[in-house]
Structure 1
Amino acid sequence: MDEISVLGIECFGHHGVFDHERRDGQTFVVDLSLGLDTRPAARSDDLHDTVDYGSLVDRVTAVVTGEPVDLIETLADRVAGVCLLDSRVEWARVTVHKPSAPISARFSDVTLTITRQRTDTPAAGPGEGPR
């Protein structure tokens, strides 16, 4: 299994359990790693034979900038669901960074990393992935 990664996707979203997070929003950073067989694309040298990561980033950005959720766990699961919409993707590892999390201590980042496989059923929102 090969791996394609896109790291550091910055998006502005309104996720969080506190009113000020929902109202004011904050920057989230998403890292994606996808497991798939890239040999067909290597043989054909054709974008149609692999994951178009530019389009995928657009769909991921739409999830992060879209409907607010309370938890980054829910957000990460929705992003994984979008990644698994492409039948060539066998697994997706998603890290959501929340560097401006409302924590009173000094810190550099809060992250959550999940891995979902094709056989999993992410809790995606409407039209955002398999159920």
Structure 2
Amino acid sequence: MEQIILKNIRVYAYHGCLAEEGMIGSDYRVDLKVSADLQKAMQTDALSDTVDYVHLNKIVKEEMAIRSKLLENVAKRIADRILDELTDIQKITLKIAKINPPIAGDVANVSVKIKVKKV
């Protein structure tokens, strides 16, 4: 099983439990790793035989644009949609980090990381 990795996808979004977060927004970074059989693509050199990372990035950006209170909810939506739309993917590791979260103290980011396997 091979992997395709998108690291540090930069997104501005409006997630959070506070009303201010919905108005002001925040910077986010998303790391995505998907596992799939890429052997055929290695031989054919054809985009149709691999997982299109442009499609992965599009899903991340579209789902990040939908406001949620919790990053856990956003992560699940992204993972569910990837598994639904890109049927060759067997496993997903996804990390969403909120940069400079509105909490007391000097915290660079807070993140949620999930791992999902196709059943």
TM-score for the superposition, normalised by structure 1: 0.86
> Higher strand fraction: Structure 1 or Structure 2?
2
Q: CA RMSD in A?
A: 0.9
Checking the alignment, whether the CA contact within 8 Å between 2:101 and 2:107 is kept in structure 1 is no
Paired position in structure 1 for 2:30: 30
Structure 1 unaligned runs (5+)? 120-131
Kept in 2, the 8 Å contact 1:60–1:82? The answer is no
- State how far apart, in whole Å, the 2-side matches of 1:82 and 1:93 are: 14
Report Cα offsets for 1:85-107 as digits up to 9, x if no partner.
21110011100011121111111
Residues 1:116 and 2:110 are matched in the alignment: no
**Code of the aligned partner of 2:82:** C
Stretches of structure 2 lacking an aligned partner (at least 5 in a row) = none
Higher helix proportion, which one?
2
Query: Conserved in 1, the CA contact under 8 Å of 2:100 and 2:107?
Result: no
State percent identity of aligned pairs.
27
Q: Deviations over 1:6-54 (max 9, x none)?
A: 0010111111000000111111111000011110100111000011101
| 1:85-100 → structure 2 map (5 Å cutoff) | 85=84, 86-100=86-100
Q: Kindly report which structure 2 residues correspond to 1:1-131, keeping only aligned pairs within 5 A, or say none.
A: 1-65=1-65, 67-85=66-84, 86-119=86-119
TM-score when normalising by structure 2: 0.94
